[in-house]
Structure 1
């Protein structure tokens, strides 16, 4: 596999960014409670070196895949970049984010911290099943909004619904966001403890 990928990369004089689950580690420290295959790690490292790729340093977490109920840890996901990319963006780094549904942590490549604007609203099924929720949404949607363009009017209607639902959920369900944050932080703390044991 690595030979064919190496040939493919070598055939093009281009700036390369390879990313994803390479299903292999570079050394024994990238596995915990898992079998480490030294020969396969050597092949992977040879591919990286011969293709003149750079393994971008990762922060946030040590491992990107957690399996068998949080017992086995591996760093399988990574970004490999060419020297040309490294010369253009010399301060690239990888951040491993918290995982939710998958056994892999999502990873992002970043040159600097960027503010992507407000986060989308989280709506829970429990809210929609509660008495009065449809009325809150309908009243907020039917408010008159300003703007000449239809997309701006639509955006403003969504903002009205978001604001109304936030206020209604605070009074109806106390502060569910704080409870969720506490539970997520506990889960993350346990995962970080497991990484070091």
Structure 2
């Protein structure tokens, strides 16, 4: 009876940590590549890459080899929103949110009471102002945001007299955030103690019932 075994080489413990402050500035990508080649770490932890997308080819270029595995965690920014009512304040409001979205290295979540609807179908027994809705939709489309679907309710706000209904509350997320968690949806919670329904953002498969022919 014979047996065989192999001895795996023990690699030197070298872990490189770098706050790069943007790969696409001042030749930092080539500088990082030379650092990898000279120090030969087994793990490199990089912060503040400021890269919107990272793929296999980019990692292989930096590492100098195809024998590499990687994981990416994008920074998430959550903005709690309470939108103003007047037209003048709304204009400044959308401009301020636009300026936030210019930081495209972040995964964005905007949630709360936007105090605005996107279409006439999101209001009942209350005035719909097309100009205001257009500004809201322009903000969403120009920044590539996703209006996460709301399940279980059509409206999120009801007036004290129970006559006026509107969808003022929602979650808007960037595509990078949606890619981090698949199958996002919003569910409405109990709203007995408020004129606005609480909303819960979550992910997972949703059973919509049997499919019709």
Q: TM over 0.5, yes or no?
A: yes
Which protein has the bigger helix share?
A: 1
Q: What is the aligned partner in structure 2 of residue 9 from structure 1?
A: 101
Q: How does 1:111-122 map to 2 (within 5 A)?
A: 111-112=203-204
Q: 2:134 aligns with which of 36, 42, 45?
A: 42
Q: Say whether the 8 Å CA contact 2:160–2:195 is kept in structure 1.
A: no
Q: How does 1:56-135 map to 2 (within 5 A)?
A: 56-112=148-204
Which has the larger displacement, 28-37 or 90-99? 90-99
Runs of 4+ in 1 over 3 A off after TM superposition: none
**Structure number with larger C-alpha Rg:** 2
In structure 1, distance between residues paired with 2:167 and 2:101: 23
Structure 1 residue ranges without an equivalent (≥5):
114-197
Structure 2 residue ranges without an equivalent (≥5):
1-92, 206-213
Q: Say whether the 8 Å CA contact 1:61–1:97 is kept in structure 2.
A: no
In structure 2, distance between residues paired with 1:84 and 1:9: 12
**SS of equivalent to 1:15:** strand
- Give the TM-score normalised by structure 1: 0.55
In structure 2, distance between residues paired with 1:12 and 1:31: 32
Equivalent residues, number = 113
Q: Say whether the 8 Å CA contact 2:184–2:203 is kept in structure 1.
A: yes
Higher normalized contact order (CA 8 Å, seq sep 6+, divided by chain length): 1
